[in-house]
Amino acid sequence: MFLALTLALALPSLPADVPLASCAWVRAENDGAGSGFIVDAEKRLLVTCRHVVADRKKVDVLFPWVRDGELVTDRAEYLRNRAVLRERGLLVIGTVLKTNDELDLALIELVSLPAGTKAVTLAAQVPQPGDPLRIVGHRLDLDTVWNLTVGPLRTSGKLAEGYFWRGKKLSLDAHALIAQFPTEEGDSGGPVFNARGHVVGVDCALRRNCPLAAVVISANDVRRFVNGNDVPAKNAKPNAIADTLTRATVWVKPTATDVHLAGVLIEKDLVLTCARGFTVTDRVGIAIPLREGDRWVSERDAYRDPLALHLRGAWRSGTVLARDTTRDLALIRLDTGSEGMRPLPLAPGVPNAGDAIHAMSHPAGLEFAWVYAFGSVRQRGRVALDVGEKAPRVPALACQLPAQAGSPGGPLVNAKGELVGVLASREGAQLVGYAATTDEIRAFLDVALRDRPTYTLAGLISRLEAIPRQHAVMLARALATRAEWHRAAGQFAEAKRDCDNAVSLDPGCAKARSCRALMFEPAQAIAELDAAVEKGHFSRDVLVLRASFANAAKDYRKARGDAEYVLAVDPSDVDAREQLARALLGLGEDAKAATALGDLVRTNAQRMKSVSGVMLAHADELEQKFPDAPDIATAWLAKALAATEKGTRDPKTRAAVAELLKTAGAAKDNAKRLKLLRAGVKELR
């Protein structure tokens, strides 16, 4: 069962009696205006945003005005009747007791409170993505005040980047909630309520580069600011639909900087995503969501180190099986399944206009990934999803949804948790997103998955057309395998003949090209491997071999590019990591090379011998180049050893390196220090 509760059945209903008597309108005349709420009625304490009060010591605070039994919501009425409001105790002076830039919060003591005013209840639990929220605010671009804005929580986590206000960075490292609110200036400081009417946080800012992403400072940070105590809040029960999306969504090519591709697991080893940036047979790296305790990790910083993800079991490598630019779809087969993930079933039908939909992606403009969004189907019809004026139109959904902001490929699901579409690369202004329909997805999969029975003519044709190519590739591989046997036995003429025949059948046959390269001189070998890369598909063996030849030929940029390409797919590839370190040393980037060696040991402690060899070889080069400056070689070895100490997971090696660095550091001069470091590195081997 995918969903116990749906969003009403869109968003679940929130309490109609949001405690307005606890809410306030804070005005620091000529400096700013915003919202606030009472946290202690006995002490007359109110919380708002630090940037709302600016540098004022005194501010005006207004409370709801009920006239003739009806709440006054006209902003101008409050401003025209200040004297009346003061007389009635609805406009009072507040003294700013303290502010905090790290949390963007301010605490205000009021001279009095209207009768019946109560403090809000700060929530004891952190809401989860998909949970409904409501904020009371006073947007400056509206003529009304005490406005209620409703939307779901999108994600939460540490706000690593904060935001600027008057040249200051506010809310660095605050625990933030990201809500799907169209908030604006004037809403800052407003209380954000959950479905129980408890305050889960304070609206503080808006990530304008990511549509509908309001920044809310958590109730726990409010509690810590007001009371000085830090009692970690527990996470609420996961929202079923958002949790379902998280368990099926992946991050494709997470190290890419131009686009933040999402993808959706449709089988344990199959990922469906958009066509953007792929070619068939590409190899790609994929991150799956990390889990810490009872929460999914959404902070992007946790996903910046592919090797760390691999070591934590959150990295997968895959091959692009098929790509359809017309439908903007691509299919990736993973090398291994994803335990803990749950593939989404394809919905049996296409949703109608007005139907609720739920999405997940990794939008730009946020320091978070696995970000939930709620929306609806605007209409379905024929839409051009490919680029170009003559792009064909295909049946697609036009959705009302926070734009993916540079993160296509994420799943769209209905209220039952069934996949109804994949976010296309095309997106429009004013919350417009597109996705090919489920019927188009089925047609694409029928062509892409050639190892299964077909049910369409296009699928049958694709299978028939692939037969000659498949036979040629298989025969070429067999010939290349025999060629390698001949080469190993010293039968070079026979090996060359089999390689030539293999390449005539499949010009991109990596195994045949590699076999020929090993029989050539370095320059000719590199040219042979260039042909393998140009005419063939991704081959880890070809790229690592070419990197090795390129390093030997001092073409360090080519070696670095090949090694980095391999590591972007498989960060645990120790051979590629070693070639990367050698290339970086050749380019004079010693610090990066030291990090690469540390990562090599972090990947496989058994590679310490080769790491030591690289360290000593580079120290030899530095000594020859700078014979009168032993401090240069000494600094290199110390830097490389420090990276090794940091990278190794072996306690004995870590202790030995630490002791070596300590002993060498106590030496009287660089010559003695270098001698000690050299001897110690040799022992590590």
pLDDT of residue 483: 93
| Cβ neighbours for 98, distance < 8 A, ≥ 6 positions apart | 106, 107
At 13 the pLDDT is 43
DSSP-H helix ranges across 180-331: 219-227, 240-246, 306-311
Specify which residues 427 forms β-bridges with: 433
Residue 485 · residue 494 · CB < 8 Å: no
Q: In this structure, are 183 and 161 located in the same domain? A: yes
CA distance 346 to 342: 13
d(CA 247, CA 239): 12
Domain-ending residue, one of 407, 428, 445? 445
CATH number for 390: 2.40.10.120
**CA 392 to the chain's CA centroid:** 32
Residue from 273, 526, 593 nearest 404 by CA: 273
Based on the domain organization, do 139 and 175 belong to the same domain?
Answer: yes
Report yes or no on 354 lying in a domain: yes
* Residue 342 neighbours by CB distance under 10 Å: 16
Q: Does a structural domain hold residue 139?
A: yes
Looking at the domain assignment, is residue 581 inside a domain? Answer: no
| Pair (282, 348) in one structural domain | yes
Contact status, residue 619 vs residue 678, Cβ threshold 8 Å: yes
420/308 same-domain check: yes
667 and 631 assigned to the same domain: yes
Q: Which of 403, 418, 445 is the last residue in one of the domains?
A: 445
- The number of CA neighbours under 13 Å toward the Cβ of 10 is 10
Distance CA 455, CA 69 (A): 67
Kindly state whether residues 228 and 246 are assigned to the same domain: no
What are 178's strand-pairing partners? 155, 215
Element (H, E) at 91: strand 91-100
Residue 314's identity, in one-letter code, is: A
Report pLDDT for 602. 93
What span, in angstroms and rounded, lies between the C-alpha atoms of 133 and 153? 7
Residue 534 is assigned to a structural domain of this protein: no
Chain centroid to CA 315:
13
Does this model's pTM top 0.85? yes
Task: Single out the residue of 6, 359, 371, 309 nearest to residue 156, CA to CA.
Answer: 371
Domain stops at, among 209, 232, 255: 232
For residue 1, the model assigns a pLDDT of: 32
Q: Residue 334 domain-assigned? A: yes
Q: What is the pLDDT of residue 225?
A: 95
What is the end-to-end Cα distance of the chain in Å, rounded? 55
pLDDT tens-digit map of 373-387: 999 999 999 999 998
DSSP 657: H
Same-domain status, 300 and 218: no
Domain tally, the chain: 3
What pLDDT is stored for residue 14 in this prediction? 42
Q: Is-contact 421 431, C-beta < 8 A?
A: no
Torsion of CA 463, 469, 474, 477, to 10 degrees: -150
SS3 category, 21: helix
Amino acid 405: pLDDT:
65
Nearest to 206 by CA among 193, 221, 187, 220: 187
Can you tell me which residue has the tokens 């070419």? 546
The parent domain of residue 637 ranges over 597-685
Q: Are residues 252 and 221 in the same domain?
A: no
pLDDT under 70: residue ranges of the chain: 1-17, 403-405
H helix or E strand, kind and range, residue 199:
strand 199-206
Same domain, 372 and 263: yes
β-sheet bridge partners, residue 319: 283, 333
pLDDT at position 462, please? 87
Q: Looking at the structure, do residues 80 and 35 belong to the same domain, yes or no?
A: yes
Same domain, 339 and 224: no
* Same-domain status, 248 and 352: yes
Using DSSP bridges, classify how beta strands 234-235 and 125-126 pair: parallel, antiparallel or unpaired. Answer: parallel
Could you tell me if residue 674 is inside a domain?
Answer: yes
What's the 3-state SS for 294-362? CEECCEHHHHCCHHHHHHCCCEEEEEEEEEECCCCEEEEEECCCCCCCCCCCECCCCCCCCCEEEEEEC
Nearest CA-CA partner of 403 in 381, 423, 388, 382: 423
Token digits of residue 107: 């605490």
Q: How far apart are CA 173 and CA 118, in angstroms?
A: 31
Q: The tokens 């395998």 sit on which residue?
A: 481
Question: Has residue 306 been placed in a domain?
Answer: yes
Tell me, what amino acid is at 258? D
In a domain, residue 424? The reply is yes
| Cβ-based neighbours of 606, under 8 Å, separated by 6 or more | none
Q: Give, in order, the Cα–Cα distances in Å from 312 to each of 243, 300, 303, 315, 604.
A: 21, 16, 11, 8, 14
